[in-house]
Amino acid sequence: MKGPRAATSDMGHGAPYEWQRDLPVGNTLHLPARAQCTLVLHQTDRSLFERKEIADWLADRETLVVGGGSNLVFVTPVILQSIHVDAAGWWIDREDHKSVDIVVEAGKGLDELVRETAGRGWFGMEALAEIPGSVGAAPVQNVGAYGTEIAEHVRWVEAFDRDEQGVVRLTARECEFGYRQSRFKREPGRWLIVRVSLRLGKQPPEHWPKTRYPGVDEALAEWSERSGQPPSAIGPDAFADLITAIRRRKLPDWRQGLPGSVGSFFQNPVVSIAKADHLASRWPAMPRFPAPGLDGRVKLSAGWLIEQCGWKGYRDDGVGVSPNHALVLMHYGGADGQDFWSLARRIRGSVERRFGIILEPEPRIVE
């Protein structure tokens, strides 16, 4: 597709959108990547997508949708054209004594939203603290941590359908959420998410707080001892801080530059109970977790599988595996996307050979 006729300079300050040329594409792996031309949206009004040059840009499948770059691995260093939603506002849509519905623009940082909502005493997002990326990217892979998935709180998602050339509102059911999965991920390249509506609680949910994950029980016990209160008294803001401390012990701080990562690189595999039992007969210590909504199947720990293959702490010049968590692949600097992707493929191959399980990457691979 040819570049846009309009230049940034004739739109003035506060324009709803602008074109930027030869723009570095930020990504939390800090791999080299540039876009020859990027359309940056500062607003998400539906009328914006009725403009021909924007609709045409989105209709072209060469246009890569880029959010916060926390879910992209740039194997290629140059992409021709991209679109980025910069709009990051949010507001209350409905509120009562039990819950509050909010609408969030896609450019809002997920962790930033967690802090702001938890700080107001609203329950629902606190376990997602310290996850990088934007709110617009979160529904794509149904981000989750410590027993919470974004899907649990989504009311609807507003997205531009690049096939049908228009903005549509999809209910949570229509988003077809699954474990690290969604309609948006199964139909890559079709959707540009522009707004997300979430329902959060003003009262603690049932079985608050969730403690069945490694490190959470211990951290809650420490909080209880310090505060002199039972674990059930912890608020969403303090719980978000607790999760932050746990994650920072395992993962590099994505705000601080190198080393870079995308957090957990591979999805935890979901297998049949029979398969899990067969593996457990040989490796009795193998962790297994319930797979909600998937009867007859269980979730295994991808990190444990990788560690058993000897990868934890491995380093090959500029790329490697975190010494703190085998599921975190690192870019230490000086490498490119080919180097990083080569390491990921080697790890996946070794797990397949030893356990007969094919690990699937969580991020999108841009080749």
As a whole number, mean pLDDT of residues 120-128 equals 97
Q: Could you tell me the pLDDT band of residue 349, with boundaries at 50, 70 and 90?
A: very high
User: Which residues have CB under 8 Å from 314's CB, separation 6+?
Assistant: 320, 321
Question: What residue segments make up the domains of the chain, in order of their start?
Answer: 8-85, 88-250, 270-366
- pLDDT tens sequence across 80-112: 999 999 999 999 999 999 999 999 999 999 999
- pLDDT tens sequence across 184-236: 999 988 999 999 999 999 999 988 998 777 789 999 999 999 999 999 999 99
Q: Indicate the pTM of the whole model.
A: 0.82
- Spot the catalytic one: 70, 134, 264, 301: 264
Q: Do 219 and 246 form a contact (C-beta atoms < 8 A)?
A: yes
Catalytic residue check, 354: no
pLDDT, position 6: 36
Radius of gyration of the chain (CA): 21
Instruction: Tell me if 8-85 shares its fold with 88-250.
Output: no
pLDDT, position 8: 34
DSSP 96-156: -SSEEEEEEETTSBHHHHHHHHHHTT-BSSGGGTT--SBTTTTTTTT-EETTEEGGGTEEE
pLDDT, position 277: 94
Instruction: Report percent pLDDT > 90 for the chain.
Output: 78
- Spot the catalytic one: 162, 180, 183, 348: 180
Looking at the predicted structure, is the pLDDT value of residue 9 above 90? no
8-85: CATH architecture: 2-Layer Sandwich (3.30)
Q: Which fold has domain 88-250?
A: 3.30.465
Catalytic residue check, 180: yes
- pLDDT tens sequence across 63-77: 999 887 888 999 999
The CATH number given to 270-366 is 3.90.78.10
The CA distances from residue 113 to 173, 215, 326, 363, in Å, are 23, 24, 28, 21
Indicate the length of the chain as a whole number.
367
Average pLDDT value for the chain: 91
As a whole number, mean pLDDT of residues 265-290 equals 93
- Spot the catalytic one: 18, 126, 158, 362: 362
Catalytic residue check, 264: yes
